[in-house]
Amino acid sequence: MNKILFVWDFHGVLEKGNEYAVQEFCNLVFKELGYNRRLNIEETRNWYGLSWFDYFKLSTPDANEEVWNKMVDKVLSFQKKGWGIVQKHLQPRDFAKEVLSEIQTSGHENILLSNTRPEHIQSFTDMVGVTDFFNKIIGIDTDNNSQVGKGYVNIKSQVLSKYLDNKTFQKIVVIGDRDVDIKAGVDNNAITYLFQSPDFTIKQIDTSPNYKISNLKDVLQELDS
């Protein structure tokens, strides 16, 4: 059987609600460091999927790199109470389990490729109950790789290329919600799906995906083609 590889982003695609946790984390950092700044949910959603560094850089543009790194260190120090905050908000995306299950049952492969620290990503997938649907779960540490600064490197594209080395698939399908996901797919000759959550303002991206969807079930058309 010629297998199809489905490459999934996690945040903003297979889950929903975590943007409220991100907002809460950022505002805790601002409070503890004495800043009057507070993120609203619209800002949080516009930047969703960026690194912590980028969140703090965009929200406090008059600060400097030393301050932004201090903010990153502070948010990472919330680990003990952090999972309680995440669990309060995080839910599986509508139809995520059904779609992943159908792909797996059909004999094809799902892998997860997320800009989430490697030591944390499975805690997220466990929380929404999708861990067992993946052949491989890959977390990427992008804390120091600013997407809004010069010199950005699409690490996701490089990691996917390395994963594909010496592997053969009938086709590769990449599903994500940001430029970096679509560009990683384009760089690796994949069919690309830009997922646009009904809760989010539609993002303008630089690279054209093959499809724009707001229902994960639409990805299943790849099983029939």
| 196 vs 203: CA distance, rounded Å | 8
Show the domains of the chain with their CATH numbers: 4-15+91-223 (3.40.50.1000), 18-89 (1.10.150)
Residue 216: CB atoms within 10 A of its CB come to: 21
74 compared with 82, residue with greater pLDDT: 74
| 175 vs 24: CA distance, rounded Å | 27
130-161 confidence digits (pLDDT tens):
999 999 999 987 665 566 665 455 789 999 99
* Strand boundaries in 67-197, DSSP class E: 91-92, 109-114, 136-139, 171-176, 191-195
Mean pLDDT (the chain) is 91
Specify the pTM: 0.88
**Considering the chain, what percentage of its residues have pLDDT values greater than 90?**
76
185 in Cβ contact with 174 (< 8 Å): yes
First to last CA, the chain: 14
63 in Cβ contact with 74 (< 8 Å): no
